Amino acid sequence: MGCDSKTPVGSDKVKKAICWMSEELLNHPLKKRDAVIREAEIRFDLSPAECEFLSKNFGDSAPC
């Protein structure tokens, strides 16, 4: 992640979502990251800014 990739304020939900996403991808390696991110956005009731953060930093098109 770059220097401009700050976690949004109120990031407890984001942290929980990232943990869940990590476990989900480990347990289901064939799942696409973007699908897991979309599920996490709904499951953890994330704001638009939090959703953008996850997509930008963890999505299939995120820089490695």
Let me know if residue 50 belongs to a domain: yes
Q: How many domains does the chain have?
A: 1
Let me know if residue 3 belongs to a domain: no
Let me know if residue 29 belongs to a domain: yes
The torsion of the CA quartet 61, 64, 19, 51, rounded to 10 degrees, works out to -30
Could you read off the pLDDT of 2-51 as tens digits, one per residue?
434 555 555 799 999 999 999 999 999 999 999 999 999 999 999 999 99
Domain of 53 in residue numbering reads as: 12-58
Q: How far apart are CA 11 and CA 61, in angstroms?
A: 22
SS3 string of 39-60? HHHHHCCCCHHHHHHHHHHHCC
Q: How far apart are CA 59 and CA 56, in angstroms?
A: 6
Let me know if residue 39 belongs to a domain: yes
Nearest to 35 by CA among 18, 50, 64, 55: 55
Single pTM value for the model: 0.78
